[in-house]
Every structure is written in structure tokens, then in C-alpha cells.
């Protein structure tokens, strides 16, 4: 079980890090802002859905096993859920009607994504040390 949890969480951490720190910045560097935004808008729901599933599966498997790891898994689940069900749809709407507020929520989304990635990292470290 530990190896499975380490695998799915390290996969998600790698996916999120690669997307957040390489793919998205590269898209915005080589495409127009509108083109890059259109591509990223298609990727976000899938990325956060993967986080939601990884966080849920990890939480269920860690229940009554390791409280610290469970807390980190639940944080991955909750941050992914907030991104997927609130921030992504709300930001998509705001982008059309109030670009200044969109930029604010984009910043909030970046902070939540960072918390998500740090939680994933912490969970991977915790699983490796146990």
C-alpha cells in the first residue's frame, strides 16, 4: 500500500510541478496570451481532477494509518476540490466580464496550487520516511 501511495502521489507531484513550472510558462512565452489561456483552460480541469482522485484515494487508504500523512492527503483533496469546483469556473466567468478580478483570483489559484504541490511533496516525504 505504501508503495502504491508513494507512486500515485509522486506521479501527481511530478505532473503538477511540470505543468505549473514548465508547461504553462512555456505556453505563455511562445503563444499569444489568448491562445495560451485557451490551452491552459482545457488542462486545468483534468489536472485538478487528478489531484482530487489522488487526494481522495490517499485519504481513504491512510485513514487510521498515519495522521500526518492523512492530513496532507486531505489537503491535496481539498485544495484540488476548491480549484476544480470553485476557482476554475469562477475565474472562467470573470475572465469574460471583469479581467481585474480575474487576475486577483488567478493569484489566489496560484497560491492554492502551491499549497497543493507542497502538500503532495510533504506527503511523498512522509511516505518515504515511514
Domain spans, the chain? 2-129
pLDDT at residue 130 is higher than 90: no
pLDDT at residue 129 is higher than 90: yes
List, for residues 81-123, the tens digit of each pLDDT value: 999 999 999 999 999 899 999 999 999 999 999 999 999 999 9
d(CA 72, CA 19): 21
d(CA 127, CA 64): 15
List, for residues 70-84, the tens digit of each pLDDT value: 999 999 999 999 999
Assigned C-alpha cell, 98: 471583469
d(CA 73, CA 89): 24
- Percent of the chain at pLDDT exceeding 70: 100
How far lies 48's CA from each of 6, 29, 78, 97, in Å?
Answer: 18, 23, 10, 24
d(CA 45, CA 30): 22
Angle at 126 between CA 80 and CA 22, to 5 degrees: 50
Q: Please tell me the predicted confidence (pLDDT) of residue 118.
A: 98
Calculate mean pLDDT across residues 37-44: 94
Could you tell me if 59 and 77 are in contact, meaning their C-beta atoms sit under 8 angstroms apart?
yes
Calculate mean pLDDT across residues 6-24: 97
**Average pLDDT in the chain:** 96
d(CA 38, CA 68): 38
Q: Please tell me the predicted confidence (pLDDT) of residue 115.
A: 98
Amino acid at each position: 500500500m505504501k508503495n502504491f501511495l508513494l507512486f500515485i502521489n509522486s506521479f501527481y507531484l511530478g505532473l503538477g510541478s511540470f505543468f505549473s513550472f514548465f508547461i504553462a510558462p512555456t505556453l505563455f512565452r511562445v503563444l499569444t496570451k489568448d491562445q495560451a489561456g485557451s490551452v491552459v483552460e482545457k488542462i486545468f480541469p483534468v489536472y485538478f481532477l487528478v489531484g482530487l482522485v489522488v487526494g481522495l484515494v490517499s485519504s481513504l487508504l491512510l485513514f487510521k494509518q498515519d495522521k500526518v500523512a492523512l492530513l496532507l492527503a486531505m489537503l491535496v483533496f481539498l485544495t484540488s476540490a476548491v480549484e476544480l469546483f470553485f476557482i476554475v469556473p469562477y475565474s472562467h466567468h470573470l475572465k469574460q466580464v471583469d479581467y481585474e478580478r480575474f487576475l486577483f483570483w488567478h493569484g489566489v489559484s496560484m497560491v492554492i496550487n502551491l499549497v497543493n504541490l507542497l502538500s503532495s511533496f510533504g506527503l511523498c516525504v512522509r511516505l518515504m520516511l515511514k
